[in-house]
Amino acid sequence: MNIPSSILTMLAGIGVTLISLWYGQNHGLMPLAASEEASQVDGLFNTMITIATGLFIFVQGVLIFAAIKYRRRQGDNTDGPAWHDNLPLEILWTALPAVIILGIGVYSFEVYNSMGGLDPMGAHDHGSMKAQAKMRGSAIAATLSDMGQNTPQIPSGKLVALGIGASPENEEKAPDLVVNVTGMQYAWIFNYPESGITSGELHMPVNRDVQLNIEATDVIHAFWLPEFRLKQDAIPGRPSELRFTANKVGQYRIVCAELCGAYHGAMNALAFVQKPEEFDAWLQEQQVASSQNLEQTVAFNPAQLSDGEFLAPYTSELGVNSENLEKLHPTHPQK
């Protein structure tokens, strides 16, 4: 039974469409979505995967069909038929990609706008934000009380902010939590200005509007939260921001996505999304710890300490005290 070519073409088109739609929603290429903004990015990504899958099947199918149907038969040494320009076909394969690219561009613009990507393009006053002091290497001498103080000021004035700001519905609302993020070779430092806490970890309550003010002290870094679908360059002397809402409790990676030096691969940190009561308990613990003089140091360089200062914390564990020292150096009677 001969099936009309139009019917076969329609059936093939339906099959390709169904396969593309299924794979576009079930590709499994993205990590867990842990923020409200992630669903919008995933929707755009799924759309592009769906279109790409359909185009891939169509193009490869035409190539395979042509390779089989128009292959050279055994014993046929004649030239193939001459093909001339096909104007309708050329218009089709030029117009179709243009329409697809235009559609994806409009869709991505809408996603960017709904996430708050257009908000930082307005004028923001960042004159009050402070640039962290330049600190390099893995040994950094700084205390919690000193971090963020006595550092050079970014010139006051209206600057075009970079990054993702408040979504249109939250433009007039202040964020629930503000965290100042400083990138340096090779670490991320997180400062909570409302509580005065500085940490090497990012903690935030779930389902709360969070704003990260991101800066760098030395070279360009890139602050990337894969599960949140957010990434923003940290630029020396140039503030940027990310504003988002984490909606899943858990522990997530923070990665530097910009080659920043020899130890770039080790520039990682952790983000913790906690229940509000757990986040409040963490804040209280950090405030208590920061009030202790002996626990104020974030990191220090042992080379800057004297022998006595370096060994002081270990003397009690080694059993060194004045009595034992007296036995080691007995007093001899003078002759």
177-211 tens-digit pLDDT:
999 999 999 999 999 999 889 999 999 999 999 99
Does 327 map to a domain?
no
In a domain, 207, yes or no: yes
**One-letter amino acid identity for 108?**
S
* Domain span including residue 136: 125-299
Q: Token pair for residue 37?
A: 């903004």
What is the pLDDT, as a whole number, of residue 289?
79
Residue pointed to by tokens 């522990």? 251
Q: Are residues 295 and 152 in the same domain?
A: yes
Q: What is the CATH number of the domain that holds 164?
A: 2.60.40.420
Same domain, 93 and 30: yes
Residues 217 and 295 occupy one common structural domain: yes
Confidence at residue 235, expressed as pLDDT on a 0 to 100 scale = 92
Do 173 and 294 fall into the same domain? yes
pLDDT level of residue 310 (50, 70, 90 thresholds):
low
Answer yes or no: is 307 within a domain: no
Is pLDDT above 90 for 323?
no
Tell me the average pLDDT of the chain.
Answer: 80
Query: For position 288, what pLDDT does the model report?
Result: 83
Q: What are the two backbone dihedrals, phi and then psi, of residue 64, each rounded to the nearest 5 degrees?
A: -65, -45
Helix (H) or strand (E) holding 297: strand 297-299
| Predicted pLDDT of residue 4 | 81
Report the candidate in 54, 39, 95, 72 with the shortest Cα–Cα distance to residue 248. Answer: 39
Residue 285 pLDDT > 80, yes or no? yes
Contact 214, 191 (CB under 8 A): no
Query: How far is Cα 13 from Cα 182, in angstroms, rounded to an integer?
Result: 52
Q: What is the model's pLDDT at position 9?
A: 84
Claim: this prediction has a pTM higher than 0.85? no
When pLDDT is cut at 50, 70 and 90, the band that residue 43 belongs to is very high
Place 34 in a pLDDT band, splitting at 50, 70 and 90.
Answer: very high
Q: Is the pLDDT of residue 324 over 70?
A: no
Same domain, 157 and 186: yes
Beta bridge partners of 297: 143
100 and 175 housed in the same domain: no
Region 30-49: mean pLDDT is: 94
| Same domain, yes or no: 18 and 100 | yes
**pLDDT tens-place string over residues 73-90:** 888 888 877 878 888 889
pLDDT of residue 98: 95
Q: Are residues 271 and 162 in the same domain?
A: yes
Residue 135 reports pLDDT greater than 70: no
**pLDDT score of 152:** 39
Centre a 10 Å sphere on the Cβ of residue 256 and count the other Cβ atoms it contains. Answer: 25
Question: How many domains, in total, are found in the chain?
Answer: 2
